Amino acid sequence: SSLYFTEDMRFILKSLTTEEHNFFLSILFFYYAYMITQRNTLLIRFYGLYTVQVDQPPNQLHFVVMENLCPADAPISERYDLKGSTQGREATPQERQKKNPVLKDLDFRRRLVIGPAQRTLFLEQLQRDAQWLTRNDIMDYSLLVCIQTEKTEPLRRAFASASASAAAANRSSPSANPLSLSQPSRSEATPTGPYANLTQLHHSSSAGALGTQTQQSHKSAAAAAGQDRSAFKQVNGGFLATDETNAPSNEVYYIGIIDILQRYNSRKRMETSLKKLLYEESAISCVEPRLYEKRFVEFFRHLSGASLPLDSDWTFLDCTKTAK
């Protein structure tokens, strides 16, 4: 695939194969229905699917427009593409020499600093998203994790605000969730998140002659936008790391599940069969969707758990053996 960024770096244009294009069309309704009822979903957000006619073969070019998980103004210090497998999951010397290298599972010699409140929400949402992918016969996806450690002014403000909230919550109730990481109920059918907000903002912005009523509409839309924003996008499109007391830490995580258009087709089934002759099934990325889901979720359960050692010598394979 080829990736192209818009000038403001907010969106990415990614080329698709004809197979990916047709598959996305076949699940488009289910994708949309899922996204509008899951405010905190980690699935990458697609905003458009296009086909361009050209004069030369292959005569049609397919691409999607999707969100850029890493804001242009965020000084990202580390980027990881994580699947929960080990075979071939280490960045090559050539990949490491790139300006903004994306590292892989075996390069992840650290842990996600996620406190109990965030951890519960994160793992529940990850499980829910992975189950949706399995229901649609999808595998070989990744969690893109971008980490900001440099203290920019937005990070300082967010840290100060979260620290004050955490202190107040701890005074009122030790078990309170200071970050208000709420999850809409499963029965919620009203569109939420960016889709609902776009409609509200469109109507309020097209009523410029309505004076005070228009201003109130803008304020209501802005308030709704803040309330409906994903719990994982509260700080400049990411979220603050938290310690075991739910107090904020000095990192911001920008995360999302990417590469979600790979169906477990006959070609992938053949790849699985061949690789199982050479490697342990727990090590290879290409496995059937249910096993992929189980291993993927278990990997991040270990990675975000309080029981992980803090040094860099923890055994990565422990995260995959449990899924066998």
pLDDT score for 40: 97
Bigger pLDDT: 206 or 234?
A: 234
pLDDT score for 299: 94
**CB 282 within 8 Å of CB 295:** yes
Mean pLDDT of the chain: 80
Integer Cα distance of 298 and 283 in angstroms:
14
Asked whether the whole model's pTM tops 0.85, one would answer no
Q: What share of the chain is helix, strand, coil (3-state, %, to 5)?
A: 40, 20, 40
Angle at 17 between CA 14 and CA 18, to 5 degrees: 130
Share of the chain above pLDDT 70, in %: 72
pLDDT score for 144: 97
Question: 101 preceded by cis ω (within 30°)?
Answer: no
Q: Decide: residue 287, CB within 10 A, 0-12 exposed, 13-18 middle, 19+ buried.
A: buried
Angle at 163 between CA 160 and CA 164, to 5 degrees: 90
CA dist list (Å): 137 to 36, 126, 162, 285, 289: 21, 16, 39, 15, 6
* Average pLDDT of span 173-196: 43
Among 87-91, 109-113, 150-154, 186-190, whose mean pLDDT is lowest?
A: 186-190
Judged against a pLDDT cut of 70, whether residue 269 lies above it is answered with: yes
* Average pLDDT of span 270-284: 92
Bigger pLDDT: 221 or 251?
A: 251
Bigger pLDDT: 109 or 179?
A: 109
pLDDT score for 227: 52
**Strand bridging mode 11-16 / 3-5:** antiparallel
Judged against a pLDDT cut of 80, whether residue 81 lies above it is answered with: yes
Greatest mean pLDDT among 25-34, 52-61, 156-165 lies in 25-34
Q: Is the dihedral of CA 2, 256, 134, 302 positive or negative?
A: positive
CA dist list (Å): 262 to 46, 121, 141, 149, 271: 15, 26, 7, 32, 13
In 3D space, the residue among 57, 61, 17, 15 whose CA is nearest the CA of residue 265 turns out to be 17
Bigger pLDDT: 2 or 172?
A: 2
What letter does residue 263 receive in the DSSP assignment?
B
